[in-house]
Amino acid sequence: MIQDIAPKIMYNQFRKREETVPVPEDTVFCFEGNKILCARNEDGELYFPSFREAEESGIGERDVQYLFAIDTHRYYLYKDYGKHRKERLEGESPIPGYGYEIYRILRELLPKTECFAAVTAYHLYVWYRNSRFCGRCGTRTVHSKTERAMVCNACGNIIYPRISPAVIVGVIRGDTILVTRYAHRAVRTHALIAGFTEIGETLEETVQREVMEEVGLHVHNIRYFASQPWGFESDILAGFYCDADPDEEIRLDMDELDRAKFISRDEITDEPSDLSLTATMIMNFKKGNV
């Protein structure tokens, strides 16, 4: 999955600003809405600007925010919503030689270490961008000096990174698994039942509710499989398998899905990517591990 970068290790603990002065080789991620600043080499592979290149373009130490390190390599976020944003046109690159591409392009990024780093950076970018003002009193927030949080000095409100819990569900019936396809989305590969956990709800209750809402099936024997950070949507995903009652018919929620059917292990082709929990769960079923 996207987070499987061993033997490399991500160190995402909070560090004080004086401990995180950028050096020329550090990576700087730049985002604009749902786009990321990148370039491609002769082989078509994506890469991102270094702090040296950012500095040569007028981006200073105070314009970047330390995010995390993978092994000894450090990653920063260009805080592109202040003075530099006012000086540039929308879509204009702040660093020569680089251009913006839709962030979904990160799903094709290799090595996986860089993919995980870029997606996690996007997760933090969205939170920083959306937390510049206090939701309680409207005052401008500042970075905490003791933890990863935005703080309102006027009313004392503390804003922590947004992480939304959601479930991915492999519904099993005999020797088949339920695969779906989202309505009104460009993604046409196999999907599983999925949804966000509501307030006051356990993860297991989310599984039961989402399956009932999307395909009208009762399920039991709910068992946990694995979890995954999914920075594309600021989620933490929890994967579960469960068993469907044998005789119920699928009643499709056409607002959510345009297809849902049970398929056998032999009908499953290799998933195009091993990044997602969904693909991992489908292939785990195909291999007979469920």
Return the pLDDT at 215.
Answer: 96
Go through 185-223 and write b for each residue having 16 or more CB atoms within 10 A of its CB, e for each that does not.
eeeeebbbbbbebeeeeeebebbbebbeebbebebeebe
Average pLDDT over residues 75-104: 79
Return the pLDDT at 272.
Answer: 60
**Cβ contacts of 247 within 8 Å, gap of 6 or more:** none
Q: Whole-model pTM above 0.85?
A: yes
Question: Please, what CATH class does the domain formed by 164-286 belong to?
Answer: alpha beta
- Contact at 8 Å (CB) between 29 and 36? yes
Return the pLDDT at 185.
Answer: 66
pLDDT of 83 above 60: no
pLDDT of 82 above 90: no
Return the pLDDT at 182.
Answer: 82
User: Per residue in 10-54, pLDDT tens?
Assistant: 999 999 988 999 999 999 999 999 999 999 988 888 899 999 999
User: Per residue in 272-283, pLDDT tens?
Assistant: 667 899 999 999
pLDDT of 130 above 80: yes
- Contact at 8 Å (CB) between 150 and 133? no
pLDDT of 230 above 90: yes
